[in-house]
Structure 1
Amino acid sequence: MISIKKYAAIDIGSNAMRLLITNVVEQDNKETQFNKSALIRVPIRLGQDAFTVGEITPENIDRMVDAMEAFRLLMKVYKVEKYKACATSAMREAYNGKEVVEIIKQKSQIDIDIIDGKVEASIIASSDLHGFLSTDKTYLYVDVGGGSTEFSLFSNGKMVTSKSFKNGTVRLLNDMVNEVVWNEIEKWIKTNTCEYENITLIGSGGNINKLFKLSGKQQDKPLSYLYLNSQYQYLNSLTYEQRIAELALNTDRADVIIPATRIYLNAMKWSGARHIYVPKIGLADGIVKAMYNGTI
């Protein structure tokens, strides 16, 4: 007996908005499967508004409304029975964030929850990671966003601790992350990983996924610190236009990929990790699983 449910997750990040539609497949005496049916990404850089002027601008409010109306229609076409929309760092910090949520609800009938960093980290940690975690190893899970980065430490197959920091790609592009924040991240990573040996990183986010795709590696193979560092140097050697023309990067990816790589490299250096695995999971995946498990 097979039962298929259609769930959707909307991730309103600082660099882009995403709609993930997932088939939840239940079978007797078998583990539930979460199969991605569609993923739509809209490059609205809300963090540029929120982190520099403190509000979501009227132009981007209109774009958000259009995107949400499109998401609602897509969910209708796919016959989605349950959805959850979560907004993160940019909407948290924009003083008109709650007002924008109300405007979107009135015009598109989409309910949005603005979640804090701790909730964001816990949702990401609930992503379908079990297929990547060996019970005899220790992992530092790093999710780099536009406004914040979430770190979660796993050991023996269970989460030990997690923390969210206001250090993301859009903030870095606007020179809004000082050395104090970097020092806090370094201290947290070193303090929480010092008792473990052979830490392995797990990376999530659009930028590390793109770097992994460029590597040409198979999905179950990791990237090395040396490879990531060489890519960082290579990307820095190219102009913004060259990254678009020669590497086929999207216009909203070609700038943020460098600061994102810097965060992953520092996380590897401070934890002593030599390799990083890149499963295709993130906040949207965590939202779907949390909805299914009744934890959100």
Structure 2
Amino acid sequence: MRFAAIDIGSNAVRMLFCDVYPYQNDYVIKKTSLVRLPIRLGEDVFIHKVISDTNIRKLAEAATAFKNLVQVYDAVDFRVCATSAMREAENGQEVIKVIKQHAGIQVDIIDGETEAELLYQTHVAEKIDKDGTFLYMDVGGGSSEFTLFCKNEKVKSKSFRIGTIRLKNDLVQEETWNDMKKWLKKIREEYRPTMIIATGGNINKLYKLCGLKDYKPFEYEELKQMNKFIEKYSVEERVEKLGLKPDRADVITHAAKIYLTAMKSVDVKELFVPKVGLADGIIYELYQKHVLESIQKEIL
């Protein structure tokens, strides 16, 4: 079966198409196409409080293109989710109506907790000790999401308005940083997580730049040194010499700062980087929904 997903984030829009195959008592997911569109809603919303007419038009056109691709790819189901920027936009509901009218697609605005749950459905914990205690962390353009898991059960979750676009535009107050550090230190004292599971486009790119692969742990010092290395270059040089996309080059060091701060606050020396994102979680959710529906039909 083929499924499709859109993640409308603060820094970009991602379209993902996957084939899902049953395998023994589990399933295998193969990505067939991933398209990343540089539609940066965060700079509209976090500065001006609304999504601009230009980006509304781009979103509507992107949604139309996505719907056409769903038909061409013969996807059996799809879902579109929007996160921080759309949540905070004063005209967010109006934008959703425009997309619905233009492309006939429903956009679901999800909160940070739902976002974490979708990502957790990718079974990232199964690649480490799922009976342990670990902190899931996702850094986006508008916010950083944290979810604590103990023995494969969600215990606590918290969202902080500290994201790469906000930092780039100097929109994060010191008080917000202190609140995040205080919460994380309390997590450290009460639960002693052994690892942070880190997701987000920037940490995936930092992981790759360090030459890491095959789920090798990303150590604190490795991330710190890579961040220092990137900071030596201008944004233009990061594009030319490091091969970063322009809308990645100007935020990647801000992301590194957030991850490093979290690691220090929790006193964790390693990140586990599964290289999955919200769109992957949506695909897993859609597949599980269809499996459940098939079982129910067989019972009836």
Counterpart position of 1:213: 208
CA contact (8 A) 1:140 1:200 kept: yes
Q: 1:143 aligns with which of 138, 144, 147?
A: 138
Counterpart position of 1:124: 119
CA distance in 2, matches of 1:93, 1:19: 22
Counterpart position of 1:10: 6
Counterpart position of 1:36: 31
Q: Does 1:93 align with 2:88?
A: yes
- The one-letter code of the counterpart of 1:185 is M
Residue by residue, what CA displacement relative to the aligned partner does 1:255-286 show, whole Å, maximum 9, x if unpaired? 11011000100111011111112112121111
Q: Return the offset for 1:119.
A: 2.1
Task: Tell me which moved more, 195-204 or 87-96.
Answer: 195-204
Q: Does 1:115 align with 2:106?
A: no
Counterpart position of 2:166: 171
Residue by residue, what CA displacement relative to the aligned partner does 1:141-182 show, whole Å, maximum 9, x if unpaired? 111101111111223233322222111100111111111111
Q: Does 1:187 align with 2:182?
A: yes
CA distance in 2, matches of 1:93, 1:220: 34
SS of equivalent residue, structure 2 residue 26:
coil
SS of equivalent residue, structure 1 residue 235:
helix
CA contact (8 A) 1:56 1:96 kept: yes
Structure 1: 5+ residue stretches without partners: none
CA distance in 2, matches of 1:114, 1:247: 34
Counterpart position of 2:295: none
- The one-letter code of the counterpart of 1:208 is I
Q: Return the offset for 1:196.
A: 3.9
CA distance in 2, matches of 1:279, 1:22: 17
- The one-letter code of the counterpart of 2:137 is V
CA contact (8 A) 2:135 2:193 kept: no
Counterpart position of 1:72: 67
CA contact (8 A) 1:137 1:155 kept: yes
Structure 2: 5+ residue stretches without partners: 293-300
Counterpart position of 2:197: 202
CA distance in 2, matches of 1:60, 1:157: 39
CA contact (8 A) 1:126 1:286 kept: yes
- The one-letter code of the counterpart of 1:279 is P
CA RMSD of aligned residues (A): 1.6
- The one-letter code of the counterpart of 2:140 is G
- The one-letter code of the counterpart of 1:150 is E
CA distance in 2, matches of 1:136, 1:92: 33
Counterpart position of 2:148: 153
CA distance in 2, matches of 1:137, 1:118: 20
Q: Return the offset for 1:198.
A: 6.0
Counterpart position of 1:263: 258
SS of equivalent residue, structure 1 residue 202:
strand
CA distance in 1, matches of 2:72, 2:214: 31
SS of equivalent residue, structure 1 residue 249:
coil
Counterpart position of 2:296: none
CA contact (8 A) 1:10 1:18 kept: yes
CA contact (8 A) 2:196 2:271 kept: yes
Q: Return the offset for 1:62.
A: 1.0
TM-score, reference length from structure 1: 0.93
